Chains A and B, each alone.
Chain A
């Protein structure tokens, strides 16, 4: 089998390298943005409530606390007099459900627990 030699000038070669480098940079940047957006699911100010929910779920599910966010992600919803933290399972990460813990936002006192969709 005979392969035809590519007739490419050095200038064209440099242009091709630049085009591929730009393409690579675009893909890298897109992934980096996507990753950072995906991981921001709550405001930093909600961290104390999320910590309380993780503590409670760790006991309820007999699961090490630092392992929980491997399988779940926190979602915070604010109501008039309480703030609720749901811990849904990341799709495909595990079988199970979504525990919901609600707190008084001022005292951080637990006001409600809903495990009816917790699996």
Chain B
């Protein structure tokens, strides 16, 4: 388990692709991303690592973002659109609770390839996507 424990990144580096997506610069969201990465690289995952995701909603009038619970399908490279749709609050629900209607998907890239930037599948999901790789680098598509 070379990546687990002390070798996990302690902080996030935000790629210029995230400029304009304020959630990527939010300290609470960055903390959540590091925790998600830890879960993703935990050796207790069936294949030793797995892609994990979490839904984020940004507040309209400032304050903290809403951060959903972590989820995974235990696959090492992907999460299905169906599963993401089930985890995602409705646009109206977001609005009624004071968040922007469009949710954001935060997810991990636990594969050892560097850099683990957002992929073609990520860019075509139909919602803003943030990916964090094993070095703590965050890339975005929105």
Look across to chain A and name the residue whose beta carbon is closest to the beta carbon of B116. Answer: A119
* 29 examples of A-B residue contacts, CB within 8 angstroms: A60-B76, A62-B50, A62-B76, A63-B75, A71-B80, A89-B78, A89-B120, A92-B81, A92-B126, A94-B78, A94-B79, A94-B80, A95-B84, A95-B105, A95-B122, A95-B129, A96-B51, A96-B77, A98-B119, A115-B77, A115-B111, A116-B113, A117-B119, A118-B77, A118-B113, A119-B51, A119-B77, A119-B119, A119-B122
| B121 A95 Cβ-Cβ under 8 A | yes
A105 is an interface residue with CB less than 8 A from chain B = no
Give the residues from 61 to 95 in chain A that come closer than 8 angstroms, CB to CB, to chain B.
61-63, 71, 88-89, 91-95
- Nearest-neighbour CB distance to chain A for B107, whole angstroms, equals 6
B119 interface neighbour in A62, A63, A93, A118, Cβ under 8 Å? A118
Size of the chain A interface, CB-CB below 8 angstroms: 21
B16 is an interface residue with CB less than 8 A from chain A = no
- Nearest-neighbour CB distance to chain A for B29, whole angstroms, equals 18
| B75 A61 Cβ-Cβ under 8 A | yes
Q: How long is the Cα–Cα vector from A92 to B126 in the complex, in angstroms? A: 6
B2 is an interface residue with CB less than 8 A from chain A = no
Q: How long is the Cα–Cα vector from A24 to B130 in the complex, in angstroms? A: 44
The residues of A that contact B126 with a CB separation of less than 8 Å are 92
Q: How long is the Cα–Cα vector from A11 to B96 in the complex, in angstroms? A: 56
| A94 B111 Cβ-Cβ under 8 A | no
The residues of B that contact A95 with a CB separation of less than 8 Å are 51, 53, 78-79, 81, 84, 105, 107, 119, 121-122, 125, 129
Q: How long is the Cα–Cα vector from A110 to B105 in the complex, in angstroms? A: 35
The residues of A that contact B84 with a CB separation of less than 8 Å are 95
User: A96 with B78: in contact, given A62-B47, A115-B111, A116-B113 (CB under 8 Å)?
Assistant: yes
The residues of A that contact B121 with a CB separation of less than 8 Å are 88-89, 91, 93-98, 119
